[in-house]
Structure 1
Amino acid sequence: MTKTSAKKRTQATPSIRPIRPPMRGWLGRGRGGANYVQAPDEWRGTTVQVCGLWPFSIGSGTPMVGVPLGRHITTGATLCCDPISWFQRAKLISNPSAFVLGKPGLGKSTLVRRMATGLAGFGVMPLVLGDLKPDYVDLIEAMGGQVITLGRGRGYLNVLDPGEATEAAHRLRAQGFEKQAQEVLADAHGRRHTMVSALITIMRSAPPTDREETIIDRALKVLDVQHQGVPVLGDLLRVIQEGPQEVRAVALDRGNDLRYKEITENLEASLIGLVGGGRLGETFSRQTTRPMRRDAPVVYDVSAIDDSEMDLQAATLLACWSAGFGTVNVANALADAGLEPRRHYFVILDELWRALRAGRGMVDRVDALTRLNRQRGVGMAMISHTMSDLLALSSEEDRMKAKGFVERSGMVICGGLPSAEMPQLNSAIPFSRAEQDLLIGWQDPPAWDPSTGREAEPPGRGKFLVKVGGRPGIPISVQLTDAELSINDTNKLWHSQSRVGSVAMAGAGGGAA
């Protein structure tokens, strides 16, 4: 073929347009090209329901067992995740607990509130045993649960109150479960003994002696026999002061009144400090203002206690934990006997760093809870800011125990964290370099929004990385529903201040006019 004929044929052959347009349509004037491709609608269903839609159905790529927590940042797939469901149903973790880490203001409490809300729908009772901010009062109120307020002049918690143990023991005995009834009463006695010893430890900054421990134990038993109704610390003090024969026998006073008074003098002084309104006030010296129930969500609101009162915070948190887990044991005993349905509880320990620093013995208490939650039928969520908070305790022994909280957790959920945290975090849970960079990027400060003159949304707000052991982390974004927005405002006091300020400014402007 000559060049001339080839040229003529090229000119004669019209350009062939593709039968199907490209993804964004044909470009050009009047041809319907689009700069933005709208995402198609999505529906979710089981493989049985959507099998006829092949090949238009895709797998989620993330576990779908548990509370819908958020969407995968890369794929958009929904992640369902909570420590109880992943332990009980999915068998993905060996311990029903989660540890949440992240800088303030990025949504850690909001994430745990989402878990608590979803688990409540599954029949799991949320227990917030010490809300220091408070962050969970609105949530528990919306669920129709109990809000128990504690603090100076606001509420009292009697550490000698056995709670629902006495009633449960009567029910067990009536049904022929004598052994179980004795176990319930023995557990209640042990908790009361432990709490009295803990309060004395906080008062003295040193634990009671072995002899004093024995005296407290025997005095409580005498009190249970002699006292009608629920005793208080003042009744325990009176028994020790009167010195019945059972107490004198364990005090080894040798029949000498003067010797008995010398032996019990320090113990008596400590109890007077607890009863008479020392630095712990009268919080534990009166009858419980509002007893806790086992059949409803509960939050202990201790936000009225100032951060400067570290001893009172420590004592109150210990008392809340003792009352809460005592109620859980009663529920388990009744369920084991077939007298009530089995209940599971989701215990939330928010601001854990404040609890650990609140006083001596707090680390050991949390350590015991994290080791026994599986046997108690209890899921747990512990929340703190950084690993440095856990490793800033006074003794090396406490620091190693606190690090173990993260290592033993079934899952670790991390928000934005500074780069200095990565070596400490990586020593507890392995993180890849890409995962570390992701967490570091989420803690960056927000940019200014020139259109509004205010700060934009922080880049890491609502974003978390879910880690289970050495598996790759799942990055998710948590978006609140309209129903959740009203119970997830942790800056109410600032909004009130802004409104008052706006009214004042408006009034000032009106006066000037």
Structure 2
Amino acid sequence: MGRRPKKTGEETEAGLAVRGRNWGLPARIGARGMRGAGGGRTSYLDLPTEYRGTSRQVCGLWPFVVGAGTPMMGVPLGRNLVTGATLCCDPISWFERAGLIANPSMFTLAKPGLGKSTINRRMIVGLDFRGTVSLVPGDTKGEYTDLIRALGGQVIQLGRGMGSLNPLDLGEMGAAADRLTGTARRRLLDEATGRRSTMVAALVSIVRKAPITGDEEAVLGKAVELLDDVDLGRPALLADLVALLKQGPDALRAMTLADTEEQYRQAVKPLLKSLMSLVEGTLASTFNRQTSHRLSLDRPVSIDLSSIPASEKTLEGAVLLTCWAEAFATIEAHDRLTDAGLAPRRNFFLVLDELWRILRAGVGLVDRVDELTRLNRQIGIGQSMTTHSTEDLLSLPNPEDRAKAKGFVERSGMVFLGGLPSVEMDALNKIVPLSSRERELIVEWSIPPSIDIKTGQEMPPPGRGKFLVKAGANAGIPVQTALTPAEIRLNDTNQKWANRIADETGGPLDLSKTGAGR
């Protein structure tokens, strides 16, 4: 029988731990486990899985060890790539409820195919559950049609022979004015007159591919005002505007300072030539007829322009701008009725996808978009604008247009940055401050997909669904978006290829039955 060893001051921690276990002495265990023979020590510790919930959901764990690292207010998008925590985010919730941003708007930049439209569609689903009405006033690729129909919304299809837009129609502003009285009615009608004249001026700029002059815009405004005094028994058309300009009443002649008939004709001739291309040219079937469909603001709406070929830039740009103007005018009319207590207050989520198309459609359109996008906070609009890169904004020929387009990003409450090439980092950093690590992430996400050596098929791009959420100068939040099974088919933008995703029944999905919107 051996003797109990004497304890010396030179004993190691491992030896003390082992002997402590054998002789009843207190064991000393480090942060990574017990050292020495019979112990168990690990060189690497995995981070524990993080779970999040409210005090009602996980009340048995209260008080929590730590607070939430990212906001839990808004539409759930996916998981934080660093902490694994769920990120909830949308421009309306972060502005109205959380107070995290000063402007209820967002701008998304990423290469094609990395999930820009998917972010918008997820927000549409989540905001629809909260009662926010989403509007897509110009879906150039038809990517929102299936989703809006699944939500029970309104889909309006426009194109050659598929519908028309009358830029002189009072629309919902006229309907709202009929319900108002006094000063409120007069102010709304004045606003409608200004919007319609601005819309016609923008169309003129598109068809002539040159900016309209200030004198011409003043004449147009007066002509639209005079048309309101003519009882036609129907909304005025562009053909009526042309006829009025040809007639040349005294009020119009006074605007041109013409002393003779010949001087007046020469003054309005360039404007008439541009308007005639809208009345008699290839755009007549779209803009010189009564509006075929009115927007409904009690459910989601998408205007599908996918039937317009991308090569017809003039038609596409004109229809896009008209649709955007119609959407803002309809929301403005609802806002006036709400102020008068004649309609319940609603918030709207406006999705302006494929921004690069409208910016390149014609001269002067940057000014029009700039005017439209400054209305969101005043009339309860959450706004999302999407394009592929900063080059879409900074490659415009006019320096003033480039500065204004850059302001679209600078004024946005939050910016979503997906995969972008390294050549864009310097220009992007001037608009959105980025750390070196954030820049590395964005460039890594832009790497092209590789081929799976086992299957021989192309793997998904490494940056698909990954975005860096920037709110002001704060550190960005890297997130991986996650979709429900019901959303996967509705987010398939390759439906015309053999790898399209189909549900088991092969029929259209109804989100109200699947619960994806919940």
**TM-score, length-scaled by structure 1:** 0.85
1:180 shift after superposition: 0.8
CA contact (8 A) 1:334 1:340 kept: yes
Match of 1:443 in 2: 446
Alignment CA distance shift 1:489-1:217 (3 Å)? same
Report the Cα distance in structure 1 between the residues aligned to 2:442 and 2:78, rounded to whole angstroms. 17
CA contact (8 A) 1:152 1:281 kept: no
Counterpart amino acid of residue 218 in structure 1:
K
1:500-511 paired onto structure 2 within 5 Å: none
| Match 1:241 to one of 246, 262, 275 | 246
Match of 1:282 in 2: 285
CA contact (8 A) 2:172 2:333 kept: yes
SS in 1 for 2:449: coil
Report the Cα distance in structure 1 between the residues aligned to 2:252 and 2:374, rounded to whole angstroms. 35
1:122-201 paired onto structure 2 within 5 Å: 122-173=130-181, 178-201=182-205
| Match 1:68 to one of 70, 73, 76 | 76
SS in 2 for 1:222: helix
SS in 2 for 1:343: coil
Report the Cα distance in structure 1 between the residues aligned to 2:99 and 2:500, rounded to whole angstroms. 48
| Match 1:327 to one of 314, 330, 334 | 330
Deviations 1:19-71 (A, max 9, x none): x9x999xxxxxxxxxxx99987956222x664542467653311011111111
Alignment CA distance shift 1:293-1:5 (3 Å)? closer
1:6 shift after superposition: 7.3
| Match 1:273 to one of 274, 277, 287 | 277
| Match 1:79 to one of 75, 87, 91 | 87
Match of 1:205 in 2: 209
1:45 aligns with 2:49: no
Counterpart amino acid of residue 216 in structure 2:
E
1:98 aligns with 2:98: no
Report the Cα distance in structure 1 between the residues aligned to 2:247 and 2:59, rounded to whole angstroms. 79
1:121 shift after superposition: 1.4
Match of 1:416 in 2: 419
Counterpart amino acid of residue 273 in structure 1:
S
Match of 1:33 in 2: none
CA contact (8 A) 1:106 1:415 kept: yes
Counterpart amino acid of residue 158 in structure 2:
L
Report the Cα distance in structure 2 between the residues aligned to 1:105 and 1:49, rounded to whole angstroms. 37
1:263 aligns with 2:263: no
1:26-37 paired onto structure 2 within 5 Å: none
Match of 2:514 in 1: none
* More helix per residue: 1
SS in 2 for 1:450: coil
Deviations 1:423-466 (A, max 9, x none): 11111111111111111111112222123210122211111111
1:230 shift after superposition: 0.9
| Overall identity of the aligned pairs, in % | 51
Counterpart amino acid of residue 396 in structure 1:
P
1:156 shift after superposition: 0.8
1:136 shift after superposition: 1.0
Alignment CA distance shift 1:407-1:209 (3 Å)? closer
1:491-502 paired onto structure 2 within 5 Å: 491-495=494-498
1:88 aligns with 2:111: no
Higher mean C-alpha displacement, 37-46 vs 97-106: 37-46
1:421 shift after superposition: 1.4
Match of 2:38 in 1: none
SS in 2 for 1:495: coil
Pairwise CA RMSD: 3.2
Report the Cα distance in structure 2 between the residues aligned to 1:208 and 1:55, rounded to whole angstroms. 65
1:90 shift after superposition: 0.2
1:161 shift after superposition: 0.7
CA contact (8 A) 1:215 1:250 kept: yes
Report the Cα distance in structure 1 between the residues aligned to 2:441 and 2:270, rounded to whole angstroms. 56
Alignment CA distance shift 1:443-1:171 (3 Å)? same
CA contact (8 A) 1:391 1:402 kept: yes
SS in 2 for 1:99: strand
Gaps of 5+ in 1: 25-35, 500-513
**TM-score, length-scaled by structure 2:** 0.85
CA contact (8 A) 1:292 1:298 kept: yes
1:349 aligns with 2:358: no
1:116 shift after superposition: 1.5
Higher mean C-alpha displacement, 309-318 vs 469-478: 309-318
Gaps of 5+ in 2: 6-14, 34-44, 503-518
Higher mean C-alpha displacement, 49-58 vs 183-192: 49-58
Deviations 1:145-190 (A, max 9, x none): 22122211221111111101222111112xxxx1111111111111
Counterpart amino acid of residue 243 in structure 1:
G
CA contact (8 A) 1:195 1:322 kept: yes
Deviations 1:216-238 (A, max 9, x none): 23332332222221111111112
Alignment CA distance shift 1:58-1:317 (3 Å)? same
Report the Cα distance in structure 2 between the residues aligned to 1:43 and 1:467, rounded to whole angstroms. 22
Higher mean C-alpha displacement, 469-478 vs 240-249: 240-249
Report the Cα distance in structure 2 between the residues aligned to 1:455 and 1:93, rounded to whole angstroms. 39
Report the Cα distance in structure 1 between the residues aligned to 2:350 and 2:69, rounded to whole angstroms. 29
Match of 1:31 in 2: none
